[in-house]
Every structure is written in structure tokens, then in C-alpha cells.
């Protein structure tokens, strides 16, 4: 074994802390998206002083562009967080089983540097 000193209980507590933070951040982000969506809907339903159709086409275009430009980021967020957590757990398990090369590979994978 190397001079590593990994404490599985400590790693577990860190992963749980990260999970709590991520869940809180995602909840806040999704709430903010919902709030902005409601604002956009209100803008679409109120008539514009310059047009009888309101601002719907402009707002709809802006919303579509926003989500289209962030589609891959939003879709991949959960996958990346899950992969990082699983990689970390696998790295610690490999370390505990005295498989240092496996631990290093899982660690790199969890960090996205594999």
C-alpha cells in the first residue's frame, strides 16, 4: 500500500455534503427557471403598446434560444454528478480492497480526467 490515508466514513460524509449542496442548487436553479418562465408567460399575454399581438413572438424566441443553447448542459448535469459520485465510491472501494491502480483509474474518471 502507498502512504494514502483514505477514511471511507469521511469520504461518505463529503459525498453526502456534495449531494445536499447539488440538490439545493438544482432546486434553486429550477425554481428560478420557473419564476422566469412565469414572467415570460405574463409578458406574452399582455398586449404591447406597439402591437396588438403582444410580445409573444419575441419572448418565445428568446426562451427557445436560451434552452436550445443550454440543452446539453441541462441534460448532462445529472449524469455528470451521478458519474462523479459513483466514481468516487468506486475509487474508495478499490483503495480499501488494496487495488491502487483501480482506485487511481476511478479517481481520474470521477474527476473527468480519464
Model pLDDT for residues 55-111, shown as the tens digit of each residue: 667 777 777 788 788 777 777 777 777 777 788 888 888 888 888 888 888 877 776
Residue 38 pLDDT level (bands cut at 50, 70, 90): confident
The helix (run of H) or strand (run of E) holding residue 74 is helix 56-96
User: In angstroms, rounded to a whole number, what is the distance separating the alpha carbons of residues 107 and 35?
Assistant: 38
Long-range contacts, stretch 34-37, CB < 8 angstroms, 24+ apart: 37/63
Q: What is the pTM of this model?
A: 0.46
Backbone torsion region of residue 47, taken as left when φ is above 0, otherwise alpha when ψ lies between -120 and 50, otherwise beta = beta
Helix axis angle, 100-111 relative to 56-96, nearest 10°?
Answer: 170
H/E stretch holding 37 reads: helix 8-45
**Which pLDDT band holds residue 1 (cuts at 50, 70, 90)?**
very low
Amino acid at each position: 500500500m502507498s502512504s494514502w490515508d483514505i477514511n471511507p466514513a469521511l469520504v461518505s460524509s463529503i459525498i453526502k455534503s456534495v449531494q445536499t449542496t447539488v440538490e439545493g442548487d438544482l432546486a434553486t436553479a429550477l425554481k428560478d427557471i420557473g419564476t422566469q418562465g412565469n414572467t415570460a408567460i405574463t409578458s406574452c399575454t399582455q398586449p404591447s403598446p406597439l402591437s396588438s399581438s403582444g410580445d409573444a413572438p419575441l419572448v418565445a424566441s428568446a426562451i427557445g434560444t436560451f434552452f436550445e443553447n443550454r440543452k446539453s448542459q441541462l441534460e448532462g448535469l445529472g449524469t455528470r454528478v451521478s458519474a462523479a459520485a459513483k466514481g468516487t465510491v468506486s475509487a474508495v472501494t478499490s483503495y480499501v480492497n488494496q487495488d491502487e491502480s483501480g482506485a487511481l483509474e476511478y479517481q481520474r474518471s470521477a474527476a473527468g480526467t480519464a
